[in-house]
Amino acid sequence: MIDLSENNEALKNIDTHNLEQLHGFIFNKIQQEGKKAGIGGYLERRSLYQKSEVFRSDSSNFRNIHLGVDIWCAENTAILHAI
């Protein structure tokens, strides 16, 4: 599990608005743990949404709750969806 919550101290050392830095953080974490993929948490409180107007609910409020499950892996990695 990759923690992208606003409580993750390691995220305070990177610019989460910079996609290259965020991508590097995520894939370094996957590599450090010896994994092939990483998963982001559902209902995680994330401050990084403030970088995009997509997450603005009105003129002053941004959504900060993650409403999905992220899967990060190498490009062209096959993903099996079982139902």
The pLDDT tens digits for 2-21 are 998 888 898 888 887 788 89
Tokens matching residue 59: 């003129």
pLDDT of residue 83: 78
Domain ranges of the chain: 9-73
Q: What is the pLDDT of residue 62?
A: 66
Cα torsion 49, 53, 56, 61: sign? positive
Residue pLDDT, tens place only, 30-83: 999 999 999 988 888 887 766 666 566 666 666 778 888 889 999 999 888 887
| pTM score, whole prediction | 0.75
Give the residue from 2, 46, 43, 51 showing the smallest Cα distance to 24. 2
pLDDT at 38: 94
